[in-house]
Amino acid sequence: MTTEEHIEKARHNEGFLSSFGDISKISVPFLDWLVTTIFYSALHYVDAILALGNVHPGKHSDRRLGIQRNKDLRVIWKDYRNLEDKSRKARYTLHGFSNNDIIQLHNRLNYLKNHILRRIKP
């Protein structure tokens, strides 16, 4: 995928999130899926900047390495890793999430997204 296609996919995922309305007032029993959607939005923003350098990770481990090696992405490493860890919990455990968790994860996504978009669009 190209940088533009990754950004389009990330925005598509964010559109799903926004379809629930105000993120601070979401009250659905599927918060785990919102966590996963937030993570995959972040993943596509990361892949967008990696694609600029012709890096197209096929595995999460390759993407993590790409983040750590890319000077523009190192600063968002902790935020990305937190989103990945929470998404893994959402997908593979019975971990419950609260609206406050969703707000915090959404804030991490926004920080990551803004950081990356500033580097893609000078």
Total domain count, the chain: 1
Structure letter (DSSP) for residue 93: S
Q: What SS3 class is residue 65?
A: helix
For residue 95, the model assigns a pLDDT of: 81
Question: What CATH number has the domain bearing residue 14?
Answer: 1.20.120
CA distance 3 to 97: 31
For residue 121, the model assigns a pLDDT of: 75
Residue 20's domain comprises 3-120
Contacts of 41 (CB under 8 A, 6+ apart): 10, 13, 14, 17, 109, 113
Q: pLDDT digit of tens for each residue in the chain (122 aa)? A: 999 999 999 999 999 988 887 877 777 778 889 999 999 999 999 999 999 999 999 999 999 999 999 998 999 999 999 999 999 999 998 888 888 899 999 999 999 999 999 998 75
Residue 4 CB coordination number (10 Å):
11
For residue 122, the model assigns a pLDDT of: 58
CA distance 58 to 51: 12
How many CA atoms are closer than 13 Å to the CA of 67, on its beta-carbon side?
Answer: 23
